Every structure is written in structure tokens, then in C-alpha cells.
Amino acid sequence: MTTVRKVLQRGLVAAAIMVLLILVFYSLAHAQVRIVNIPCGQDIDATINADPRSTASRFVLGAHCPFVASATIVPSDGDEVACEVAPTFVQRGPAFDPTTRCTVAGDASVEKVFSPRGQGGGVATVRFEGIKITGGNFAGQAGTGVGIAAGSMSPSSVTYGVEVGDNDGAGISNCNGTFERIELSNTTQDPRALGFIGSGIKCVNESVIKNSYVHDNQGNGIWCDEECNDTSLGTFLVQDNLVVDNGGAGIRWEKVGGANAGEAIIENNEVRGNSIDAQRGGISVRDAQDAIIRNNSFGGNGREAAIIAADSGSSDRPNLSNIVIVNNTLKGEDIKGCELPNTVVACAGNTPCEREHCRPRLRTSDNAPSRCFGWAHHLNRLFLPLLPRR
């Protein structure tokens, strides 16, 4: 009995020590992020920019009052900027449209409302949550006229339940990290930014954009170009978004190819009513490689084109290659690029065109995918063999 009692006592002591250690480590972990409340009327840019850059802080903004930044707000590594009231969401198709209770606006002189940056100008892992960001004066340079200049954000950064809009250039530029349940609208108010950075969100690195509502932007909705460089996230993932009524392409994958270039998966999105004037279609692939476009639905896009995959032929841009387009619901629209060899653009399983004159293409081989062509194509196939050969 004495031996048993000693064993039990030792076990209880060990368990108590373990619980104590867990509590200590838990407290230390949470002590690393201190809470800084920013009530209504307090200078937001002065408060955040003066915070020690070696200390991770969670800045909690007072709700139902607009904060106006007179200088770019520069969160540092480990910082979080959040509203004291959590966002709520309305589901729109696959997306979740956030309603926020905190607003941060840049005044007319501010070119970037937020521009996270680590110590010495390095990379910063940050989190934005439940705020609305407006403003950004476009100065004719990349990275200006934006709500969030994200070029120094790490791939581990998270933007959740945030609204970004009413910006001169892009809502979010040089994006990095994961953007979930965000809304991007009414960006690119300065026409000089069109074709340059004009978009709801523009990336040059692999990032994740999912469950987001991207609509009524003057430029492209979602855009990655300039190699869309590899990151630890492993792919440029555009998933489960509602992308509608954007002036440019709904989703654009452009100028991607090379040793450090990334890959894209564009899937399960609703892409409607985009590019009516720009004529780029719903999803635009231009001089780019290594993308899978699958299980998306379309309708009402410019040129009646769900997807346009094209090569400009320019020697200083990558060749179009390894684009896979499968199992998309076209709703009467076309895919332009399926006529190319399968090593360039491979198409299969896409819902046929719904217009009466559209029929599946006759197969030229067992490996050729069925594609959708108009009546003129089928007349040519019927009558060309009857014409005299030269």
C-alpha cells in the first residue's frame, strides 16, 4: 500500500507540474500579442505607426465611427488590425459578403491607406479583420491609389471579413497571403490606372482568394501577373468567389512562365457579366502557363466568352502553355483557345454551348476533346472537301 500511495503521489505531482507548464506557456504565447484599443476620435495612423515595431499588437478599432488616416498606416510583423465588432455575412452564391462596423479612410493626400512592413523594411505577417478600407490617391506609380499595399506582407498573412473599395488604383495591390470572405468593389476610380494596376485585387505572387464577393470594379476583378511568383502557399488559388460586373476580366492570369513562376487553380467560381467593354471575357489567360480552370459557371460576359486563352506572340512574354479547362458550366458562352493543341490548351467536360447553332465538334482523334463551334465551322467541314484542290 505504501508503494502504491507513493506512486499515486508522484503521478499527481507530475500532473500538477504539467498543468502549470501548460498554463505558463499558454500565457506566454498570448502575452506576445498585446491589445491596443483605438477609440473613436483617436489618430489611427499616429497610434499604429508609433507602436514599437518589435512588439506584436492587436489594434482594436472603435465601431460606428470613421477613422481618417492623414498618413499611410504601417502595421508591423505580428500586428493585427480589427474592429471591436465582428463582421457579419450575407451569402451570395459561393461567396460571403461582409458587413463591417469600422471604417478607415485615407484622406486626399494618402497614396496607400495601409502598407504593412517588417523591421528594416522586411516582410510582415499581419491580419486584417472586420474593417472597411477606402481611399488611396493614384500618383501614376504602381502601389499607389490602393487600400492595402500588400507587397511586404508574408504568405502567412490573413485578410478576413474586410471591405475594400472607392480607391483610385487597386483595392489591394501586390497581394500576399490569404484573402477570405472579403468584398472588393468600385476600385480604379482614376482611369490612368486601367491596364496598369486597375483591379479589385492585383497580385504578383501566389496567394489565396476565396469565398469573396468581387464586383463592379472598373478594371479586372482578380488579377495575377508578372510571373505570379512561387510562394510557400504553393499555388495561386482563386476558389468559391462571386465575380460579377467588372469592367475588365473577372479573373485574369497573365504573363506567367519561367523558373520562379507560380501555378494557378481557378475553381468553383461564379463569373458573370464581366468585360462588357474590354472584351476579355469572364476568365482571361494571356501569355501564361500552368493553370487549371475547373468547375466554374459563367453567363453574360463580354464577347459571349466564358474563357479566353490567348498568346500575343510577343517575344518578351511567356508562351501560352499547359492550360487545362475542364468541367465548366458555360451557359451559352464559348471558350476561345480550345482549338489549340492539347499541350497548349486542353479542354474536356465543359457544358456544351446552349445556343441552337452550337454543336459538339466532330472528333479528329480519340484524344481530341469535344469543343463548341458555330454553324459556319460545320458548313466548312461539310463543303470544303467538295472544293477543287489547287
Q: Kindly state the average pLDDT of the residues 306-330.
A: 97
User: Cβ contacts of residue 31 below 8 Å, gap of 6+?
Assistant: none
Identify the three-state secondary structure at position 343: coil
Does residue 329 register a pLDDT over 90? Answer: yes
- What rounded mean pLDDT belongs to the chain? 87
Count of CB atoms situated within 10 Å of the CB of 379: 10
**What is the tens place of the pLDDT at every residue in 191-250?**
999 989 999 999 999 999 999 999 999 999 999 999 999 999 999 999 999 999 999 999
Which band of pLDDT confidence, cut at 50, 70 and 90, is reported for residue 278?
Answer: confident
Per CATH, is 31-218 categorized as 3.40.1710?
A: no
Element (DSSP H or E) covering residue 20: helix 2-31
**What pLDDT is stored for residue 353 in this prediction?**
60
The rounded distance, in Å, linking the Cα atoms of 273 and 322 is 27
Q: Kindly state the average pLDDT of the residues 62-79.
A: 97
C-alpha cell at 168: 483610385
Only one residue has cell 488616416, namely 69
- Do residues 117 and 143 make contact, with C-beta atoms less than 8 angstroms apart? no
Does residue 369 register a pLDDT over 90? Answer: no
- Do residues 137 and 112 make contact, with C-beta atoms less than 8 angstroms apart? no
**What pLDDT is stored for residue 384 in this prediction?**
33
More confident residue, 382 or 141: 141
**What pLDDT is stored for residue 26 in this prediction?**
39
**HSE-CB for 73 with a 13 A CA cutoff:** 29
- Do residues 236 and 263 make contact, with C-beta atoms less than 8 angstroms apart? yes
Which band of pLDDT confidence, cut at 50, 70 and 90, is reported for residue 121?
Answer: confident
List the domain boundaries for the chain.
31-218, 231-390
Calculate what percentage of the chain has a pLDDT beyond 90: 78
